[in-house]
Amino acid sequence: MAERSFKAEVEHLRLGAGDTFTGEGILAITKALLENGVGYVGGYQGAPISHLMDVLADAEDLLAELGVRYEANASEAAAAAMLAASVHYPIRGAVTFKGSVGVNVASDALANLASSGVNGGALIIVGEDYGEGSSIMQERSHAFAMKSQFWLLDPRPNLPSIVKAVGDGFALSEASNSPVMLMVRIRSCHVTGSFPTRDNVRPPLTVRDALSAPRRDFSRVVLPPMSYLHEHDKVNNRWPAAERFIIDQGLNEVFGPETAPVGIVVQGGMYNGVIRALQRLGLADIHGNTEVPLYVLNVTYPLISSEFLEFCAGKSAILVVEEGQPEFIEQSLSTYLLRAGSKTRLFGKNVFPMAGEYTGGVMLDSVTKFLRETAPQMLPGQVRAPNAPAVAIPDLSKTVPTRPPGFCTGCPERPIFAAMKLVERELGQHQITGDIGCHLFATLPPFEIGGSTMGYGLGPASNAAFDGGGERRAISILGDGGFWHNGLSSSIGNMVFNKSDSVAIIVDNFYSAATGGQDIPSSRAENKSKATQHPITEALKGVGVKWVRQVDRTYDVTKMRDTIREALSTDYNGPKVIVASSECMLNKQRREKPLTAKAIKEGRRVETPRFGVDEDICTGDHACIRLSGCPSLSLKKLDDPLRDDPVASIDQSCVGCGNCGEVADAAVLCPSFWRGEVVHNPGGFERWWHGLRARIIGALQARRDRNRIVFATGAE
Phi, psi of 580 (to 5 degrees): -100, 110
Instruction: With CA atoms as reference, report the closest residue to 315 among 343, 356, 337.
Output: 343
301-310, 389-398, 705-714 — most confident range: 301-310
Round to whole Å and give the CA distance between 357 and 367: 15
Indicate the residue type of 5: S
Q: Does 713 have pLDDT greater than 70?
A: no
Give the H/E segment covering residue 69: strand 69-72
- For residue 186, name the pLDDT band (cuts at 50, 70, 90): confident
The pTM is what? Answer: 0.86
Cα-Cα-Cα-Cα torsion 223, 225, 227, 230, nearest 10 degrees, comes to -140
Q: How high is the pLDDT of residue 118? A: 95
Q: Does 578 have pLDDT greater than 90?
A: yes
Percent of the chain with pLDDT over 70: 95
Mean pLDDT of 260-271: 96
Round to whole Å and give the CA distance between 63 and 529: 13
Give the H/E segment covering residue 273: helix 271-280
Q: How high is the pLDDT of residue 442? A: 87
Instruction: With CA atoms as reference, report the closest residue to 272 among 169, 428, 376, 156.
Output: 156
Mean pLDDT of 503-529: 88
Round to whole Å and give the CA distance between 587 and 583: 8
Q: How high is the pLDDT of residue 716? A: 47
DSSP track, 563-583 = HHHHHHH-S--S-EEEEEE--
Neighbours of 174 (CB within 10 A): 20
Mean pLDDT of 91-109: 91
Query: 359-371, pLDDT tens digit by residue?
Result: 899 999 999 999 9
Angle, helix 414-427 to helix 557-569, in steps of 10 degrees:
50
Instruction: With CA atoms as reference, report the closest residue to 362 among 130, 158, 101.
Output: 130
Neighbours of 482 (CB within 10 A): 30
206-220, 296-310, 404-418 — most confident range: 296-310
DSSP 437: S
Q: How high is the pLDDT of residue 391? A: 55
Q: Are 108 and 119 in contact (CB under 8 A)?
A: no
Q: Share the mean pLDDT of the chain.
A: 89
- For residue 389, name the pLDDT band (cuts at 50, 70, 90): low
- For residue 167, name the pLDDT band (cuts at 50, 70, 90): very high
Q: How high is the pLDDT of residue 116? A: 93
Distances in Å between the alpha carbon of 622 and those of 418, 586, 640?
A: 14, 26, 18
Mean pLDDT of 382-398: 58
User: Which domains can be identified in the chain, with CATH numbers?
Assistant: 15-202+213-248 (3.40.50.970), 253-376 (3.40.50.920), 414-587 (3.40.50.970), 605-702 (3.30.70)
Instruction: With CA atoms as reference, report the closest residue to 455 among 482, 476, 494.
Output: 482
Instruction: With CA atoms as reference, report the closest residue to 66 among 14, 24, 18, 22.
Output: 14
Neighbours of 589 (CB within 10 A): 16
In this structure, are strands 122-128 and 180-185 parallel, antiparallel, or unpaired? Answer: parallel
| SS3 at position 214 | coil
Query: 60-97, pLDDT tens digit by residue?
Result: 999 999 999 999 998 999 999 999 999 999 999 999 99
Three-state secondary structure of 11-44: HHHHCCCCCEEEEEHHHHHHHHHHHCCCCEEEEC
Q: Residues with Cβ < 8 Å from 693, sequence gap 6 or more?
A: none
DSSP 370: H
Neighbours of 704 (CB within 10 A): 9
Instruction: With CA atoms as reference, report the closest residue to 304 among 213, 224, 243.
Output: 243
What end-to-end distance do the CA atoms of the chain give, in Å? 73
| SS3 at position 94 | strand
Position with higher pLDDT, 279 vs 131: 279
Among 57-66, 374-383, 388-397, whose mean pLDDT is lowest? 388-397
Phi, psi of 242 (to 5 degrees): -65, -45
Round to whole Å and give the CA distance between 229 and 379: 53
Distances in Å between the alpha carbon of 295 and those of 162, 163, 292, 509?
A: 17, 20, 10, 48
Instruction: With CA atoms as reference, report the closest residue to 72 among 87, 52, 90, 88.
Output: 52
Q: How high is the pLDDT of residue 356? A: 84
Mean pLDDT of 170-190: 93
DSSP track, 253-268 = EEES-S--SEEEEEEG
Round to whole Å and give the CA distance between 401 and 707: 48
Query: 206-232, pLDDT tens digit by residue?
Result: 999 998 888 888 888 888 888 889 999
Round to whole Å and give the CA distance between 375 and 259: 13
| SS3 at position 590 | helix
Round to whole Å and give the CA distance between 210 and 12: 29
Q: Is the dihedral of CA 361, 363, 366, 367 positive or negative?
A: negative
Q: Are 29 and 162 in contact (CB under 8 A)?
A: yes
Query: 14-35, pLDDT tens digit by residue?
Result: 999 999 999 999 999 999 999 9
DSSP track, 156-200 = -SSHHHHHHHHHHHHHHHHHHTS-EEEEEEHHHHH-EEEEE----
Q: Does 384 have pLDDT greater than 60?
A: no
Query: 326-369, pLDDT tens digit by residue?
Result: 999 999 999 999 999 999 999 999 999 998 889 899 999 999 99
Which residues lie across from 71 on neighbouring strands?
42
Three-state secondary structure of 492-552: HHHHHHCCCCCEEEEEECCCEHHHCCECCCCCCCCCCCCCCCCCHHHHHHHCCCCEEEEEC
Round to whole Å and give the CA distance between 224 and 115: 12
